[in-house]
């Protein structure tokens, strides 16, 4: 993917999806005493998330860097991180606004 906005947006959508899955899905399925399954699921989810975020944030810049486009690779990486930071701040602001109006 050669668009930092898409990469950052996909990362945020993935995070929101995982939080909803954990909050709505796992919380209702695993009520009661904790089993060894929950830590396995969480560790597997962590590894999956690290792999996906590594791909979204580093995949294209690394490819560009290895192709000799060093400045473009660094710019692309920081654009992706910057856009993700802005989206995160918007999400935090929307959450604070929603909580304040309740």
pLDDT at site 10? 94
Domain tally for the chain? 1
Return d(Cα 30, Cα 70) in angstroms, integer: 48
pLDDT band with cut points at 50, 70 and 90 for residue 81: very high
pLDDT at position 34: 66
pLDDT tens digits, residue range 8-61? 999 999 999 998 888 887 666 666 666 777 778 889 999 999 999 999 999 999
| pLDDT top residue among 59 and 100 | 59
Q: Which one is predicted more confidently, 72 or 36?
A: 72
Are the beta carbons of 49 and 12 closer than 8 angstroms? no
pLDDT at 33: 67
Domain interval for residue 62: 4-100
Query: Which of 28-42, 66-80, 83-97 bottoms out in mean pLDDT, i.e. has the lowest?
Result: 28-42
């Amino acid at each position: 993917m050669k668009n930092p906005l898409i990469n950052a947006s996909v990362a945020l959508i993935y995070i929101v999806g995982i939080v909803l899955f954990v909050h709505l899905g796992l919380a209702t399925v695993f009520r009661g005493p904790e089993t060894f399954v929950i830590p396995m699921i969480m560790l597997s989810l962590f590894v999956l998330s690290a792999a996906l975020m590594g791909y979204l944030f580093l995949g294209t810049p690394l490819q560009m860097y290895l192709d000799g486009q060093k400045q473009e690779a660094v710019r692309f990486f920081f654009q992706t991180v910057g856009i993700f930071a802005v989206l995160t701040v918007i999400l935090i602001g929307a959450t604070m606004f929603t909580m304040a109006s309740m």
